[in-house]
Structure 1
Amino acid sequence: MRVALWGNASGKEAKLLFKIDSFILSYCCLMYFTNYLDRSNISNAFVSGMKEELHMYGTEYNKINTIFTCGYIVGMIPNNLMLQWVPPRIWLPLMQIVWGVLTFTTSAVHNVESIYAIRFFQGMAESSTFVGTHYVLGSWYKPDELGKRSGIFTSSGLIGTLFSGILQAAVYTHLNGVANRSGWRWLFIIDGIITMPIALYGFLVFPDLPATTNAFYLSDQERLLARTRIQGEIQVIHKPVTLGTFKRVLSKWRWYACSLLFAISGETECFGSNNIMGQWMKAIGGYTVEQIDYYPSGMTAFAVASTLVCATWTDSTRQRWPVLVYMAVACIFAAICILAWGSPTALKFAAFYIAGASYAGQATTFAWANQICADDDQERAIVLASMNMWNNVVNAWWSLIFYPATDAPKFQKGSIAMICASVATLGCTWLVWFLERREHRLRGSRAIEGVDHSPSSLHEEGPNLEDKEKL
């Protein structure tokens, strides 16, 4: 475990890594766990009685997801801008409290229109978490340390999804009808109760960024080491975002290619994010509510395993693209099995589980973008935010068109869309790989000629002599 997380780091650096892993990862993972727990409870509630009690019909379930995504898109840029003025240890837990309160509120709704309104504002609050955390991780960790941490962080969200299904089944069994409340209503109450103390934990322990941290558990020497150890790997100079910043970012390939990659590859997660397996089981019949809640958890379990194994492998090789090839091929296979309606039920179960490989690409794609943009802090922040933004712009209409609830149980359009998205992911992966290699070749040529115009050479500042002596 020590070698897997901290590699060859020893002494002071290993101690520092242990501390920041203990506090950064613990809070970020718990925060993302509740983020996905509160987000995925809608799909579990839908197949556990909410549909019938609120008289939902047609594509109203898909509209809930679309409205949530719209709120997510609207809130993303304001949330990222707020992190420039409000310390992350204040803003991120504050937003967690907001979505926790909204989760509580969902337990009292009496019509689907109320859920529309709640989910829009919940999307705005939850949009603070994903990109904000990847930016924080990319500010503390070197590229060969980042993949594992990104994988652990992403897995925590998947575990939230996994736990939501198990929790809903347990709640339905033991609390359905208690205090005249349906089981699905109790799910939202319990989710809210889980969320609040984790937000308080964030207020107390989250360390902000290396340049601004005042964490009580870091000594002055460790704060200095946190800043100096990443110099030469990651740009650590933070400057205000200006119009010139956007001109610089938009003049290069990174913003366009990375945004395109996640906008498309993120859609390979649709089998999981729309709970297609749960809707399929409910539509074909023959399964209990508990089974419909439990069985799709196998997809999430496979997603967690794929994410952690792939993230560890990419850190050791510094090659991110093979993971995207793996997940695209897995999703193509899964979609073909589901599209072939006459295939055995056991094969369809296996196909849904294998489709969980799609989540391995999430951590890898953002670790890759952090690695590509490591020499420009402002560009890194903008590229990470844009990747998630464009993916959610596509999400806003993708599920409505290709995965409407009315298509259950066959989801023929969705399976074809999955194959197309997976093939397109292979093309985008090759494009980013090619452009990154070309940039490295050009940078090497400039270095040989004695001229380096890279952002890191223009803006990076190393530790001064006094700082080196302190270390």
Structure 2
Amino acid sequence: MSASIDDIQVAKTAQVAQSVAAESQKTTPSDSARPSADIPAPENGISGFFHWHEPGCSAEEKRLIFKLDWFLLSYSCLCFFIKYLDQTNISNAYVSGMQEELGFGAGNELSWMNTFFNVGMIIGAPVANLIITVIRPRFWLPFCLITWSLFVLFLYKCNTAEQFYGLRFCIGLFESAAWPGITYTLGCWYRKSELARRSALFVISGVLGQMFSGYLQAALYSGMEGKGGMSAWRWLFIFDFVISIPVAIYGVLCYPDTPHTTGAWYLNEWERNRARERIEEEGRKPVGKLDLSVFKRIFTSWQIYTFSLGYALWSLTIGSYVMQYFALYLKAVGWFSVPQINNIPTAIGAVNFCTMLTTGYVADKIGRRGPVCLAVGLILAFCWAVFTAWDVPHGLRMFCFILTGVYGCFTPLLAGWVNESCGGDQQKRAFVLGFMTSVGSALVIPFQQLQFPSSQAPHFAETHGWASALVFVVALTLWTGFGIPFCQKKFMKQVRTDEYESEAEIGA
């Protein structure tokens, strides 16, 4: 009997010891969980909000992120800078002598140049972004860059509208690889909490390209008019091509591909492994393959419809063409010189720059994009309401034209949303990014021709252009502010439920 009592006492003592140990583990971090000397504690307040890395990031991981920012992000920004430089140079050339020299204007030639460019984008974007999952990005993206730049060069020889239309189609076809391809690659490397601000910087480079195109044309108009027997607007296309050559070479040498295929010379073995681990910890380990199943995975997903609708509404606001319409407005009032007509609209880019940085930081820190989209959409609605009324003081119209620069943040926010929500299915993620670009471009073609023909600029009174665009601004605000967050919550919850039931069936 005494032996059994002793056994009971020993058992009780062991249970007490186990309970104490369990409580100790709950309140005291283990050695592996305890921050090391080189890992800073999480930061709070203002300093934590503006931190460039996740709190607690080790020195080695910070070095990895620095290398990605230096090489991956820098080339992404340079490539997108060239893309927008080449996309918008046509409007700068148009208001700087092309229209008068070639007799354009009454036939909406500028609108048709935009249309043929968009047709190329529609055809190219989804295909280009599936190709990038097969051909390494450091070869594919520079190849597309140098190809479209060659077509830009040929623009300087054009003398008829039809020649511009053909070349603009070819430019759009190869430029279509830039935005979805780079966005896809950024999503392969950066965490969810890092992606919005990097995507914002990437898209900001496009805004700088728009601004630089205006400054370059203004400088060429003052210094190159008549040189070599050519007008200054022709020199713009030549200079744009020359600028693109070193960027393409840099991409081939330094773009790191993706974490699971990289052979970048500046990353050591630990950094390559850690880069893979970071993405796998986010639930974005590459899965799936490019076969017939890709169509089912894509077109039965909620992402393809949700984000395509969002990007289509954004495109139908005509926000990306506001800088062009602003230049046409300045030319129409007759108070400004050619250099001023090229320079003043770049203020839109300055607003865009600040907005993208701010919204990128806020989206990363709060972990939600819906509230940010809602706030920006309300600002856009005010601007478009002023344009719809139109009979307002000149100063207010100028202010609203410049304030529309806030529109650009929707692009990185939607791109980051796609990268986050598609997980590790790289084909689905790539195709959605390309497809939503094509859908937006496809819808813009008839809308711009019918509602915003260049011959009706800048008021577009007969076509009710600004009023119709206001409707899409309101729809965009509601869909991105409430619709997409609702869909994401609903469908992601369903996915988790299905996964739980599958695991339960396997366990049974």
Q: TM-score, normalised by structure 1?
A: 0.92
Indicate whether 1:314 and 2:363 are aligned: yes
**Alignment partner for residue 193 of structure 1, among 236, 242, 264?**
242
**Alignment partner for residue 130 of structure 2, among 75, 81, 85?**
81
Does the C-alpha gap of structure 1 residues 253 and 301 become closer, same or farther in structure 2, counting only changes over 3 Å? same
What secondary structure sits across from 2:133 in the alignment?
Answer: helix
**Alignment partner for residue 316 of structure 2, among 248, 267, 279?**
267
Match of 2:33 in 1: none
**Alignment partner for residue 488 of structure 2, among 428, 431, 436?**
436
Q: In the alignment, is the contact (CA less than 8 A) between 2:54 and 2:193 conserved in 1?
A: no
Match of 1:34 in 2: 82
Which region of structure 1 is more displaced relative to structure 2, 264-273 or 98-107?
264-273
Indicate whether 1:276 and 2:328 are aligned: no
Amino acid at match of 1:258: F
Match of 1:378 in 2: 427
Indicate whether 1:416 and 2:416 are aligned: no
Question: Mapping of 1:314-463 within 5 angstroms?
Answer: 314-412=363-461, 413-429=464-480, 430-443=482-495, 451=503
- CA deviation map 1:315-355 (0-9, x unaligned): 01111112221232122111121222321111001110111
Amino acid at match of 2:472: A
Match of 1:250 in 2: 299
Which region of structure 1 is more displaced relative to structure 2, 81-90 or 35-44?
81-90
Q: In the alignment, is the contact (CA less than 8 A) between 1:36 and 1:157 conserved in 2?
A: yes
Q: In the alignment, is the contact (CA less than 8 A) between 2:130 and 2:430 conserved in 1?
A: no
Which region of structure 1 is more displaced relative to structure 2, 159-168 or 271-280?
271-280
Indicate whether 1:49 and 2:100 are aligned: no
In 1, the alpha carbon distance for the partners of 2:293 and 2:213 equals: 45
Match of 1:6 in 2: 53
Question: Mapping of 1:57-76 within 5 angstroms?
Answer: 57=105, 58-76=107-125
- CA deviation map 1:354-396 (0-9, x unaligned): 1111111111111111111124333222221221111111122
Q: In the alignment, is the contact (CA less than 8 A) between 1:271 and 1:277 conserved in 2?
A: no
CA shift for structure 1 position 231? 1.0
**Alignment partner for residue 135 of structure 1, among 149, 172, 184?**
184
Task: Answer with 1 or 2: which has the greater Rg.
Answer: 2
Does the C-alpha gap of structure 1 residues 420 and 398 become closer, same or farther in structure 2, counting only changes over 3 Å? same
Amino acid at match of 2:51: A
Match of 1:95 in 2: 144
CA shift for structure 1 position 426? 2.4
CA shift for structure 1 position 303? 1.1
CA shift for structure 1 position 56? 1.1
In 1, the alpha carbon distance for the partners of 2:164 and 2:283 equals: 42
CA shift for structure 1 position 11? 1.9
In 1, the alpha carbon distance for the partners of 2:283 and 2:183 equals: 14
Amino acid at match of 1:93: P
RMSD across aligned positions (CA): 2.0
**Alignment partner for residue 179 of structure 1, among 228, 232, 238?**
228
- CA deviation map 1:72-119 (0-9, x unaligned): 111223322332332111111111111111111111211121111111
Amino acid at match of 1:5: W
In 1, the alpha carbon distance for the partners of 2:416 and 2:54 equals: 17
- CA deviation map 1:105-150 (0-9, x unaligned): 1112111211111111111111111000111011111111110111
Indicate whether 1:298 and 2:347 are aligned: yes
Which region of structure 1 is more displaced relative to structure 2, 256-265 or 378-387?
378-387
- In structure 2, list runs of 5 or more residues that go unmatched: 1-46
Aligned length: 453
Match of 1:457 in 2: none
Q: TM-score, normalised by structure 2?
A: 0.85
What secondary structure sits across from 1:230 in the alignment?
Answer: helix
Does the C-alpha gap of structure 1 residues 112 and 242 become closer, same or farther in structure 2, counting only changes over 3 Å? same
**Alignment partner for residue 271 of structure 2, among 207, 222, 232?**
222
Q: In the alignment, is the contact (CA less than 8 A) between 1:234 and 1:377 conserved in 2?
A: no
Q: In the alignment, is the contact (CA less than 8 A) between 1:271 and 1:355 conserved in 2?
A: no
**Alignment partner for residue 20 of structure 1, among 64, 68, 87?**
68
Match of 1:459 in 2: none
Q: In the alignment, is the contact (CA less than 8 A) between 2:93 and 2:233 conserved in 1?
A: yes
CA shift for structure 1 position 50? 0.6
Which region of structure 1 is more displaced relative to structure 2, 410-419 or 30-39?
410-419
Amino acid at match of 1:414: G
CA shift for structure 1 position 236? 2.1
CA shift for structure 1 position 182? 0.7
- CA deviation map 1:16-36 (0-9, x unaligned): 111111100110100000010
Q: In the alignment, is the contact (CA less than 8 A) between 1:32 and 1:129 conserved in 2?
A: yes
- CA deviation map 1:151-188 (0-9, x unaligned): 00000001100111111111111111112111111111
CA shift for structure 1 position 239? 3.7
Indicate whether 1:148 and 2:200 are aligned: no
Match of 1:468 in 2: none
In 2, the alpha carbon distance for the partners of 1:108 and 1:254 equals: 43
What secondary structure sits across from 1:85 in the alignment?
Answer: coil
Amino acid at match of 1:426: T
Does the C-alpha gap of structure 1 residues 448 and 75 become closer, same or farther in structure 2, counting only changes over 3 Å? closer
In 2, the alpha carbon distance for the partners of 1:260 and 1:95 equals: 27
Does the C-alpha gap of structure 1 residues 286 and 378 become closer, same or farther in structure 2, counting only changes over 3 Å? same
In 1, the alpha carbon distance for the partners of 2:88 and 2:374 equals: 27
